[in-house]
Structure 1
Amino acid sequence: MQGQHGSYGKLLFDKRWRDKRTNIIKRDNNLCRSCGVNSELEVHHRQYHFIKRLRQFKKPWEYEDHLLITFCGSCHKKGHQKFKVPIKYI
């Protein structure tokens, strides 16, 4: 995912992702699930899925809700520094 971050970043402006993101944040009561703050909220993918036959990653909005979690910007950044997001090949 790292190598494709530029094109992936563009997808985060897509309406389908913005709608999904809004729904996940609402589900999580507009709070960071790690520290409980309610500002600078972001949605984190718990894993990435690489579709082998298409040779590409799923679009950000194609993930099931249980694979997404709300973090504040600080906790999201700390999490990415501490842990590598696993990639599942499907």
Structure 2
Amino acid sequence: MLMIFNLINTGSMTFFQFVVYQQPYGQFWLTFLLLNALGLSGIFFGFFTVSLTSFFLLYYLSLVNFIFIFIWQIKVMEKKNMFQFYVVEHDAKSVRYVR
């Protein structure tokens, strides 16, 4: 997959370098080598940026979910005194819940 992206990227940069700008980088073989290196580095930094951005987006979403869905609901329930605590009394035969 990376080879296909690199081929497309190098082909498009070669088109612009020779057809649009009409000026190679020094010798002919050096132009393809430099364009190939530019294409690979661009693809690497593009994938790196996308993966880093997606990591931080998922990190932020999980942080928001934890704070506002888990902790915030506990605080609201504490303020409204919605917690009902039960003390469990049990012996060998029965279990009884005492409020």
Do they superpose with TM above 0.5?
Answer: no
Which has the greater radius of gyration? Answer: 2
Quick check: which one's strand share is greater? 1
Please report the TM-score for the alignment, with normalisation by the length of structure 1.
Answer: 0.31
Q: Which has the higher contact order (CA 8 A, sep 6+)?
A: 1
